[in-house]
Structure 1
Amino acid sequence: MKTRSWWLIFLALAVYAVVLYIVHPNPQANIDVTPGSSVSAEPMGDLAFARLWPRLGLSFQTFAQVPGLLPLDTKSVYVSVEPQSSRYDAGDARDLLSFVAKGHEVVWVTSQNDAITKALQVTIAPANHISLPANSANAANGANPVVGASQASKTSKPTTVRKVELVETNSTSRVSARTTLTGLNFPLSAELTGAGLKSAAERVVTTGGTTVGASFVHGKGKIVVWTVPTVFENQGIGTANNLQIPWHFLQKQNILWDEYGHGVVDQGLFQTLFGNGREGTLLLLLAAGVAYLFASNTRFGVIRGAPDERPRVDVELVHALAGHFMRRSLGDTREQLLDAAVRRRLSKMYGVPGTASWDVLDTVVLPGLPRRLGQAYARWRTVDNQDNRTLSRSARKRRLTALQSLMNDLDATGASRSPEADE
C-alpha cells in the first residue's frame, strides 16, 4: 500500500475527529464553571473544598466514571455535590447502592430529585420561605394570609439556619441520641420528605423542624443525603462554622469526588471517537477503507501486455562485480577467492590435490619453484604468517598485495608449464 493511501486514511480520521469535537465538545472545557465541580472557582463550585482536604492531611481524589466502575477496594468516601439529575439513571442508582451495600459510604449532596433520591424513596422539596411584611393588616389581625404567586415572589426571603439537631434513631424508629451543631450560617433552600425517612438512621433537623439531611444504612454501608449544597461550596464552606456539616458526615476520611455527575467521563480514544451510539461510524470508516484498498489494488479495464524490459549489457555485470569487491565488508571474500585461485594453480602445476593446504605446498612446491616465483611465494607466506590473525584494513591490504603479486608471477611463468620444463 502506497504512503499516499495511508495519508488519505489518516486525513479522513482527522476530519472525523474535528467534526466530532465541534458537534460534541469535550465536557472538561467548561467544567471550571459547573456547580459542584472540584475545579470550579465559581461561588457554587468546590475548589475551596478540594484544596482544604489535603491540607488537613487527608486524601482527595476525583472519579469520572460510571458508578458501576467504582473501586471496591477503596477506603474513601464517595462524595457527589450537585450532580446533574440527567447523568444518573436507574441503572446507575442500582450500581451506587450496590457499592454502598458492600461496605462503603456515600455522601449525596443535591437540591433536586434524581434517580438516587427516588431509589431511597425520599423527595426534595423547596422549603417554605414565604412571609408577609410586618405592617400587613392581615398579619396584625392574626389572620392566616393568602398570598398570591406574584406577591410571594416579592416577599420571599430565605430562612437562615443557625443551628441544626442531629437526631439518631434505632431500629424501632425511636430516638436514641440528639446532638446539636451551632454557629452555622446557611440559607434553608430545600427540605427532605418522603416515606423513606422512616428508615433513616439519622436525621438533620433545623430549629423549625425542617429535615435537611438524613443518613441511611444500606447493607454493610451507609449513604447520606444532604439538601443544602451551600455548606460544601466556595460561597459557604468558610462562613461561620459551616464546615461542621461536612466534617460530621465525612468523619476525617479520605474523599473520592464525583466528577461523572458533572459531565466528565474518563474514557479511552476508541470510546471518545466511536462510543455513545457512534459505533456505526466505525463500521462506515472500515467499509470505506476496505473499498479503497480494493480499488487501489484492482485494475478495471482492457488487459494490457507486460512492458518490454530494457536489455542489459555485459558491462553491467562487470560494474556490479567491481562494486561488490570494493566494499570494505567484502574484503575477506576477495582475499579468500584469490587465495583459493593461487593454491589451485600451484596444485595443478605440481600435481597435488587442489584442496592441499599451504603447509603441504610449502613442503612439496616451494623447493621446485623458479627463483622469481619462489621469492614471491616466500614473501606471501611471510606476510600471511605475520598478519594471519589481524583484521585491520592495512593487514588485509598487505595480504592482498602479496597474493596478487604471486598470482602475477604465476601468470608470467605460465600455468601450463610443468616442473621438468622449468628445470
Structure 2
Amino acid sequence: MKFRMWMVVSGLLVVYLAVGLWTTSVSSKPVDIAGSALSSGQQGSMALERTWRQLRLPWENWEQIPGFLPKSSNSVYVSVEPQQSVYQPQDVSALLHFASAGNTVIFAVSQQDAVLQKLNVSVNPISEHTVRTLSGPHKKWSNTSFTTADELNGAGLQVAQKLWRDGQGNVLGAVFKQGNGSMVLWAAPSVWENGTIDKGDNFQFVWNLIGNRKVFWDEYGHGLSSQSLIKWMFHGWRLLALILFILALFLYLYKNLWRFGPVRNPQLEPPMQGTDFMDALAWQMTRPALRRNQYEHLVPLVQKRLAQHGRYRGVATIEAATKWIEARRAPELSAVWQAWMKLADAGYQAKRWREFLKLTRTLLKQAEDYREESTDSEARMGHEVRHTK
C-alpha cells in the first residue's frame, strides 16, 4: 500500500479523539445529594443557590474537573461534602493554582479529603452539638444555629492565617494564604444545608465568607460531570492546536484540490499530446474499481494514437500501428512495442497493471519522439526537392 500523508493525519486525529474519550468522565446525575445545589432535600444546598440567583449574583454549578476553572481572579469555588475518592492529586494542584490567581477555595467536609491532606490538616470526630456562638477573625457570631460532630486538627493549623472556633473551643474553620488568594477549610458542612441556612446568623456567616463574588459551586465532587469530549477538545492549548490543524488542512486542500496553477494565455497553451495526455489518463486509471474498464479503452486509444502518427486514415488497428513502428527501423521502439503487445494480448492483469501503464507511457513517449524526427526529415527533404527544381 502506498504511503500517504492523509493516512498519518487521520491516524493522529483518531488517537487524539480516543485519548479525549478515555480521559473524560461522563455521568448523568449526582450520586450523592449532600451539599449539592441541585438537591432540595434537607442536606442539599438549593436554597442558597436560589437566594444567590434572586440577588442577581453570578453563580455557576461547576460540573467540570478543577483544571478547567477560569484563571480570572475574585471568584470563589465552594465544595460542600464532596465524595472522598473524587479529587485526585492533579485536581488538588488545579485548585491551589486557582486560589493562587487571586481566588478563594472553600472546602466544607466532615471526612478526610485530598485537599486536607495537602494542607496537613485532618478532620477529627467530637461529640455532636449545636453551635450557638462562633468566634473568628475580626468578628464573633452569637446567634448561629447548626450542628457539628467534627473539628479540624493537625500541624497545618499552625500556619493558618485565621481560625474559627465554637463556644467549646473546637476549631471549625481555617484560612490559609495561597499565592494571591486563599484556601478555606470548614468542618461543619451543615451550615450550608437547606435545613439550616435560614436559621439565626447562618446566612450572614456564609455571606461574610463568600462575599460579593462569582460562585463556582462544586457538583463535580458529587459525582456529576458534564465533561464532554467537545469541551475537552476546545480547552486551553487544545483549542489553539485544533485551529492550527484546521488551517493546515485548508491550505493542503487549497493547494492540492482547488489551485491548479496560474492561468496561462490560451494562445500559448500547447495541445495535449503524448506524455501529458497519458499522465492525466493514467492518474484516472489508478482507481482500482475502474481499472478493468479503463484497460479496455486504453488499448484502442494507444492503437489510434500510433496509427495517427502514420497518417493512416482507416480503422485504427494493430496492423496499422505495427506497420508504422516497423517503418521507423528503431530497435528500441520495436522492443517496447513487442513488450506492450505481449501484455495487451494477455488481457487485464491486476498484478501487472502498473507495469502496463509504465510501458504505455514509454511507448507513446518514444513514438512521439520518432514522429517529430520523421516530420523534421520529411520537411528537410521537401525543401531540397523544391530547391533542385
TM-score by length of 2: 0.51
**Deviation by residue 1:211-262 (Cα, 9 ceiling, x = unmatched):** 0011111111111111111110112111222113211211222211111111
Match of 1:189, SS state, is strand
Aligned to 1:163: 133
**Deviation by residue 1:163-207 (Cα, 9 ceiling, x = unmatched):** 1100x4xxxxxxxx5x21011111121100001111111100011
Please state how far the C-alpha of 1:60 moved relative to its aligned partner.
1.1
CA contact (8 A) 1:42 1:234 kept: yes
In structure 2, give the amino acid aligned to 1:162. Answer: R
User: Aligned partners of 2:288 and 2:231: how far apart in 1?
Assistant: 34
- The answer to whether the aligner puts 1:189 opposite 2:149 as a matched pair is yes
In structure 1, give the amino acid aligned to 2:29. Answer: A
**Deviation by residue 1:78-100 (Cα, 9 ceiling, x = unmatched):** 11111112111112111111111
Match of 1:44, SS state, is coil
Match of 1:215, SS state, is strand
In structure 1, give the amino acid aligned to 2:27. Answer: P
Aligned to 1:386: none
Aligned to 1:220: 180
Aligned to 2:330: none
- The answer to whether the aligner puts 1:236 opposite 2:196 as a matched pair is yes
User: Aligned partners of 2:26 and 2:115: how far apart in 1?
Assistant: 26
CA contact (8 A) 2:66 2:91 kept: yes
User: Aligned partners of 1:252 and 1:230: how far apart in 2?
Assistant: 22
CA contact (8 A) 1:181 1:244 kept: no
Correspondence 1:52-63 to 2 at 5 A: 52-63=51-62
User: Aligned partners of 1:25 and 1:66: how far apart in 2?
Assistant: 9
Given candidates 220, 225, 236, the residue that maps to 1:265 is 225
- Change in CA separation of 1:195 and 1:38 when aligned onto 2, cut-off 3 Å: same
User: Aligned partners of 2:105 and 2:146: how far apart in 1?
Assistant: 22
- Change in CA separation of 1:25 and 1:268 when aligned onto 2, cut-off 3 Å: closer
**Deviation by residue 1:254-310 (Cα, 9 ceiling, x = unmatched):** 2111111111222335799xxxxxxxxxxxxxxxxxxxxxxxx999xxxx99xxxxx
- Shifted more, 193-202 versus 94-103: the winner is 94-103
In structure 2, give the amino acid aligned to 1:246. Answer: V
Aligned to 1:255: 215
In structure 1, give the amino acid aligned to 2:147. Answer: P
Match of 1:27, SS state, is coil
Q: Which runs of 5+ in 1 are unaligned?
A: 1-19, 130-157, 169-176, 273-296, 306-423
Aligned to 1:28: 28
User: Aligned partners of 1:106 and 1:60: how far apart in 2?
Assistant: 15
Superposition RMSD in Å = 2.9
**Deviation by residue 1:96-139 (Cα, 9 ceiling, x = unmatched):** 11111121111111111111001111111111x2xxxxxxxxxx
Aligned to 2:140: 180
- Change in CA separation of 1:254 and 1:109 when aligned onto 2, cut-off 3 Å: same
In our comparison, the structure showing a higher alpha carbon Rg is 1
User: Aligned partners of 2:73 and 2:108: how far apart in 1?
Assistant: 20
**Deviation by residue 1:319-339 (Cα, 9 ceiling, x = unmatched):** xxxxxxxxxxxxxxxxxxxxx
Correspondence 1:189-208 to 2 at 5 A: 189-208=149-168
User: Aligned partners of 2:25 and 2:72: how far apart in 1?
Assistant: 33
CA contact (8 A) 1:224 1:249 kept: no
Match of 2:111, SS state, is coil
Correspondence 1:325-404 to 2 at 5 A: none
- The answer to whether the aligner puts 1:122 opposite 2:121 as a matched pair is yes
Please state how far the C-alpha of 1:71 moved relative to its aligned partner.
0.3
- Change in CA separation of 1:188 and 1:270 when aligned onto 2, cut-off 3 Å: closer
In structure 1, give the amino acid aligned to 2:78. Answer: V
- Change in CA separation of 1:270 and 1:44 when aligned onto 2, cut-off 3 Å: same
CA contact (8 A) 2:110 2:123 kept: yes
- Change in CA separation of 1:28 and 1:236 when aligned onto 2, cut-off 3 Å: farther
TM-score by length of 1: 0.47
Match of 2:107, SS state, is strand
Match of 2:216, SS state, is strand
In structure 1, give the amino acid aligned to 2:180. Answer: K
Aligned to 1:99: 98
In structure 1, give the amino acid aligned to 2:33. Answer: T
